[in-house]
Amino acid sequence: MNLNPVTPAFLETLQSVLPDRCLRPADPRYLEEPRGRWKGQAGAIVAPDSTEQVAAVLKAANAARVPVVPYGGGTGLVGGQIMADGPAPLLLSLERMTKIRALYPEENVMVADAGAILQDIHEAALAADRLFPMSIAAKGSARIGGCLATNAGGVNVLRYGNTRDLALGLEAVLPDGRIWNGLTRLRKDNTGYDLRDLLIGSEGTLGVITAAALKLAPRPAGEGTALIVVDSPAAALTLLSLARDHMGEGVSAFELIHGTGLEFLAEKLPQLRQPFAEAPEWMVLIDVGLARGIDPATALENLFVAGLEAGLVSDGLIAQSQQQRQDFWEIREQIPEANRLVGSISSHDISLPLSTIADFITKGGDILRRMGDFRINCFGHLGDGNLHYNVFPAKGRQKSDYLDQRDAVQRAVHDLVDEFDGSFSAEHGVGRLKVADLERYGDPVKLQMMRSIKTAFDPNGILNPGAVLRA
Amino acid sequence: MNLNPVTPAFLETLQSVLPDRCLRPADPRYLEEPRGRWKGQAGAIVAPDSTEQVAAVLKAANAARVPVVPYGGGTGLVGGQIMADGPAPLLLSLERMTKIRALYPEENVMVADAGAILQDIHEAALAADRLFPMSIAAKGSARIGGCLATNAGGVNVLRYGNTRDLALGLEAVLPDGRIWNGLTRLRKDNTGYDLRDLLIGSEGTLGVITAAALKLAPRPAGEGTALIVVDSPAAALTLLSLARDHMGEGVSAFELIHGTGLEFLAEKLPQLRQPFAEAPEWMVLIDVGLARGIDPATALENLFVAGLEAGLVSDGLIAQSQQQRQDFWEIREQIPEANRLVGSISSHDISLPLSTIADFITKGGDILRRMGDFRINCFGHLGDGNLHYNVFPAKGRQKSDYLDQRDAVQRAVHDLVDEFDGSFSAEHGVGRLKVADLERYGDPVKLQMMRSIKTAFDPNGILNPGAVLRA
């Protein structure tokens, strides 16, 4: 595509359609990303106040063939918000559009501007005695527009679905400035093609989401948490089945933890209390939220007993207080930090069909053992089939000792994932980091249709060029 | 578009790519639809054995510019499966592709051919102690491919979502014969645009779905049903909120019934036992499926008591046996039959934002009262905001007395729905019946994007021409 960088003349055009307060200084924080892999560039940064201003900006950029990078909280892990090369783009930040537009507790619906911070959405829902269940580690800075654009996942997907499943309607601006008003609060509406789900997960390449109608959930009457030692990943999966037989949709989270995670915690974050005297090889962290008339701790005890009888579990702790629930979760949530401190050779956000996970873990271990001396920390959202399968140096060695093996490790893991009909990106998206993976592992017809859709929405290719699809 | 009818030469091409058994005689049943509004036409009817054969057929039709009408169970209510005019099309029936390809109880996943009958899918799931929760009255003949193409709804949407929400992956053939293999069983997969949800609900205009990976659900440990007299639609909605506070996702169905429904049953199906000695004005039918350790009848009693204390309900029956549950459901399920026997002037499958429903019912009644002497039977899936708002002759008068008012009634109802940000088609789709409604009430930018997508997928316009979008 023939794109042009931001020029002084284009800046003048922007000034003619935007109030001065919407033009931001080129603060370097917009050009960094959490893992420090790339440095971005920007010819200008704008933060419109309104959907109409977003439309005016896109109309101008489309006329001038200037690339536009939509920007939410900047917390994406695959470089979707960072354009490192090509003509200097316009960075379009939603940071000034942060309103909760409306809340309908009786409908379990909230309508929010795309720039609203995820945590503010959580708090607004709680203030109405409701739950917005999608939650990720970056919730304090991630914006809902970015969560929608990337179809963010997190710990409650098992029960409540991905971000996609929590959106009823969207408002978005198309690359040429047309505004699509699809901000419906309806649960059922079969009137034409599903533009909503097409924009969700398109990572800012088809349109800029400016607002969303979000599903809320009632708060469960009682909640409980258990940390249970399981014999194997296969036993963990059977326990999950059992848990759902016992508690139905009441199982909110089902997280797998490996002993390597506890080992890393002991090594790098020794102040954190270890849950078991002797670190087990495999554990699951189970969170439940149940209806009235049933005590979560009792339900978890019953599950534990059933697991014992079925020979699946050998030890376990059931939280007796809110504090203990938080302590158990702290263990799970500090594992990524311990990983960061150890320093991974290669990290993978993969998903697999549930029934293949145990087999995958065995085969993955075998393959990596043949390739070298690694430690594997495999943990994550087991209930969704989503593993964070991260490969680390052997004890006493450094990440830098393995630089020449990094690509081979990544390739071996992704090849195996592909062999098992899994995904090389479960929840982080494609961004710019995984464009080549999508080309390698994606269905070729799907890629062709994605290109056709991109052309239909964005014939000049101005929106987030190079993300998802090669520019 | 320049389309050609099926010709003898085209039939020869079909014969060269399909075994003889796949060419069907022109049985008139393919050209009828349940409400008898239109007669279809077909130049030929084919029923391929395999995805590859579907691909060969579409490739040939695309090359010859012959229109293709995809055909599932033929149960659609908006004429999506019927092409009444234009060049005689090829009717492509999925009836020979009916296999359950695989079942993974431990994953809660089933993979089925698009031609599998919905009821067979229910039974296969039950045989594995699982539930495929999407259920509609036409389940004995509807095929899952058609349910997906139209995003069918039904009585369990409140808990389990529309058909869209129950699909993990699809296999589909594009209009030019390319096969998209998107048959994933993954719960999380953020690798590019969501083609799945684009095909779902596109009513056979973008591609022909040939198979799907479907989500199953665990069977609830205990189920219960209650029929509760409520003071008003507003009270019914507050009771729904209360029910979800008590039982969370355990509320499977929440159906509104109006006294007119009972009146019609008494009039036309007097053998059916009336639930209350004196017919109340408004009732709700509540179905729950709860986790272990909680008795559904007790939970429903607690809800009833809470409803009494809140001044929402005045009477109620809680089913004490499986037979009684069926009897309560029989009342709800026979209302459409009673409606048919009375004969409606105009029927509407509408949805509304939940918090506006009570107001809509009041205003709709006022408007219709000013227009003439009608009886309104307003009932349906209240929990989803989906009402079947049907308008009937006054007692002693006939449908035929109102012929000249029919269009005005429909227009008045749909205008009011639009004013309340509702939908003129909650679960039946657009088909050919509601193309003008979509043009009138749909967002204009949405319609433009739908046309762009249609062109990107089907540049020759061969697939189901005239459905959803005007040909």
The alpha-carbon radius of gyration of chain A (Å, integer) is 23
Q: What is the pLDDT at residue A35? A: 80
Mutation site for A-interface testing, chosen from B187, B356, B424 by largest number of A Cβ within 10 Å: B187
Domain membership flag for residue A444: no
Q: Is the pLDDT of residue B27 over 90?
A: no
A267 and A226 part of one domain:
yes
Closest B-chain CA to A198? B194
**Would you give the DSSP letter of residue B278?**
S
Average pLDDT over residues B233-257: 93
For residue A290, CA distances in Å to A228, B218, B283, B295, B369 come to: 19, 16, 27, 14, 46
Q: Is A175 on the interface with B (CB under 8 A)?
A: no
Closest A-chain CA to B187? A384
Average pLDDT over residues A323-327: 96
Helices (H), B128-252: 144-149, 157-160, 195-199, 233-247
A352 and A331 part of one domain:
yes
Domain membership flag for residue A455: no
Distance from CA of A25 to the nearest CA of B (A): 33
d(CA B270, CA B257): 17
B89 and B214 part of one domain:
no
Average pLDDT over residues A400-427: 97
Laid out side by side, the sheet with A167-173 consists of A100-104, A109-113, A208-215, A167-173, A179-182
Domain membership flag for residue A441: no
- Using a CB-CB distance cutoff of 8 angstroms, which residues of chain B are in contact with residue A457? 449, 452
B46 and B112 part of one domain:
no
Tokens 């040429």 belong to A176
DSSP string, A180-197: EEE----S---SS--HHH
- Using a CB-CB distance cutoff of 8 angstroms, which residues of chain B are in contact with residue A429? 190-191
A263 and A213 part of one domain:
no
Q: Could you give phi then psi for residue B167, rounded to 5 degrees?
A: -105, 130
DSSP string, A361-398: HHHHHHHHHHH--EEEEEEEEGGGTEEEEEEEEPTT--
Residues with Cβ < 8 Å from A451, sequence gap 6 or more? A469
d(CA B67, CA A233): 51
A245 and A394 part of one domain:
yes
B252 and B207 part of one domain:
no
Are the CB atoms for A93 and A29 separated by under 8 Å? no
**Comparison of pLDDT for B333 and B467, the residue scoring more:** B467
For residue B146, CA distances in Å to B95, B98, B115, B137, B164 come to: 11, 12, 8, 14, 12
Residues with Cβ < 8 Å from B428, sequence gap 6 or more? A190, B76, B77, B78, B150, B349
Domain membership flag for residue A152: yes
Q: What is the pLDDT at residue B155? A: 85
Q: Is the pLDDT of residue B1 over 80?
A: no
Tokens linked to A430: 């494609």
**Would you give the DSSP letter of residue B96?**
T
Nearest C-alpha neighbor of A392 from the set A426, A348, A425: A348
Beta bridge pairs of residue B282: B230, B258
A309 and A400 part of one domain:
yes
Window 269-298 of B: residues touching A by CB (8 A cutoff) are 289-294, 298
Beta bridge pairs of residue B226: B286, B318
A188–B162 CB contact, under 8 Å:
yes
A391 and A253 part of one domain:
yes
Domain membership flag for residue B305: yes
Closest B-chain CA to A175? B449
Q: Is A424 on the interface with B (CB under 8 A)?
A: yes
Residue type at B298 in one-letter notation:
T
pLDDT by residue (tens digit) across B377-424? 999 999 999 999 999 999 999 999 999 999 999 999 999 999 999 999
B424–A191 CB contact, under 8 Å:
yes
d(CA B39, CA A31): 61
- Would strands A251-258 and A23-24 be described as parallel, antiparallel, or unpaired? unpaired
A176 and A232 part of one domain:
no
Window 43-62 of B: residues touching A by CB (8 A cutoff) are none
Tokens linked to A165: 């499943």
d(CA A378, CA A12): 52
Mutation site for A-interface testing, chosen from B191, B418, B423 by largest number of A Cβ within 10 Å: B191
The number of residues making up chain B comes to: 471
Nearest CB to B299 within list A249, A293, A457:
A293
- Using a CB-CB distance cutoff of 8 angstroms, which residues of chain A are in contact with residue B181? 443, 445
Tokens linked to B42: 């077909």
pLDDT by residue (tens digit) across A11-60? 999 999 999 999 988 788 999 988 887 889 999 999 999 999 999 999 99
Q: What element of type H or E holds B208?
A: strand B208-215
**Would you give the DSSP letter of residue A463?**
B
pLDDT by residue (tens digit) across B412-455? 999 999 999 999 999 999 999 999 999 999 999 999 999 999 99
**Would you give the DSSP letter of residue A117?**
B
Looking at B34, B65, B95, which one is the last position of a domain? Answer: B95
Band of residue B258 on the pLDDT scale cut at 50, 70, 90: very high
**Comparison of pLDDT for A169 and B245, the residue scoring more:** A169
- Would strands B208-215 and B109-113 be described as parallel, antiparallel, or unpaired? antiparallel
Nearest CB to A384 within list B187, B191, B353:
B187
Helix axes B51-64, B8-17, angle to 10 degrees: 150
Q: Is the pLDDT of residue B263 over 70?
A: yes
- Looking at A106-178, which runs of residues are DSSP E strands? 109-113, 130-131, 167-173
Residues with Cβ < 8 Å from A459, sequence gap 6 or more? none
Tokens linked to A224: 């409980």
Residues with Cβ < 8 Å from B262, sequence gap 6 or more? B274, B275, B276, B279, B331
B366 and B414 part of one domain:
yes
- Using a CB-CB distance cutoff of 8 angstroms, which residues of chain B are in contact with residue A195? 446, 449-450
d(CA B144, CA A156): 29
A189–B351 CB contact, under 8 Å:
yes
**Torsion angle of alpha carbons B358, B362, B363, B366, nearest 10°?**
170
d(CA A254, CA A236): 9
Q: What is the pLDDT at residue A1? A: 62
What mean pLDDT, rounded, does chain B reach? 96
Q: What is the pLDDT at residue B25? A: 81
Rounded to a whole number of angstroms, the distance between the first and last alpha carbons of chain B is 7
Residues with Cβ < 8 Å from B113, sequence gap 6 or more? B94, B97, B98, B99, B100, B101, B144, B145, B210, B211
Looking at A202, A218, A234, which one is the last position of a domain? Answer: A218
SS (H, E, C) A254-316: EEEEEHHHHHHHHHHCCCCCCCCCCCCCEEEEEEEEECCCCCHHHHHHHHHHHHHHCCCEEEE
Q: What is the pLDDT at residue A182? A: 97
Nearest CB to A291 within list B157, B181, B250:
B250
d(CA B11, CA A243): 56
Nearest C-alpha neighbor of A350 from the set A383, A314, A385: A385
pLDDT by residue (tens digit) across A262-276? 999 999 999 999 999
For position B72, which CATH number holds? 3.30.43.10
For position B292, which CATH number holds? 3.30.70.2190
- Using a CB-CB distance cutoff of 8 angstroms, which residues of chain A are in contact with residue B105? 241
- Using a CB-CB distance cutoff of 8 angstroms, which residues of chain B are in contact with residue A111? none
Q: Is the pLDDT of residue A91 over 70?
A: yes
ipTM at complex level? 0.96
Domain membership flag for residue A202: yes
Window 186-225 of A: residues touching B by CB (8 A cutoff) are 186-195, 197-198, 200-202, 206, 218, 220-221
d(CA A97, CA A74): 15
Q: Is A136 on the interface with B (CB under 8 A)?
A: no
Are the CB atoms for A186 and A412 separated by under 8 Å? no
Looking at B71, B95, B119, which one is the last position of a domain? Answer: B95
Window 242-271 of A: residues touching B by CB (8 A cutoff) are 244-250
d(CA A81, CA A203): 9
B111 and B14 part of one domain:
no
C-alpha dihedral sign at B408, B412, B414, B419 = positive
Domain membership flag for residue B434: no
CA-based angle A70:A72:A75, to the nearest 5? 115
pLDDT by residue (tens digit) across B291-341? 888 899 999 999 999 999 999 999 999 999 999 999 999 999 999 999 999
pLDDT by residue (tens digit) across A344-389? 999 999 999 999 999 999 999 999 999 999 999 999 999 999 999 9
Average pLDDT over residues A277-302: 93
A194–B200 CB contact, under 8 Å:
yes
Domain region containing B126: 100-218
Beta bridge pairs of residue B217: B131
The number of residues making up chain A comes to: 471
Q: What is the pLDDT at residue B35? A: 80
Rounded to a whole number of angstroms, the distance between the first and last alpha carbons of chain A is 7
Tokens linked to B416: 């009011």
Helices (H), B65-222: 118-127, 144-149, 157-160, 195-199
Tokens linked to A254: 């089902």
Nearest CB to A192 within list B248, B427, B438:
B438
- Using a CB-CB distance cutoff of 8 angstroms, which residues of chain A are in contact with residue B431? none
For position B184, which CATH number holds? 3.30.465.10
What mean pLDDT, rounded, does chain A reach? 96
Closest B-chain CA to A194? B198
Band of residue A438 on the pLDDT scale cut at 50, 70, 90: very high
Number of domains in chain A: 2
d(CA B286, CA B254): 5
- Would strands B90-93 and B68-71 be described as parallel, antiparallel, or unpaired? parallel
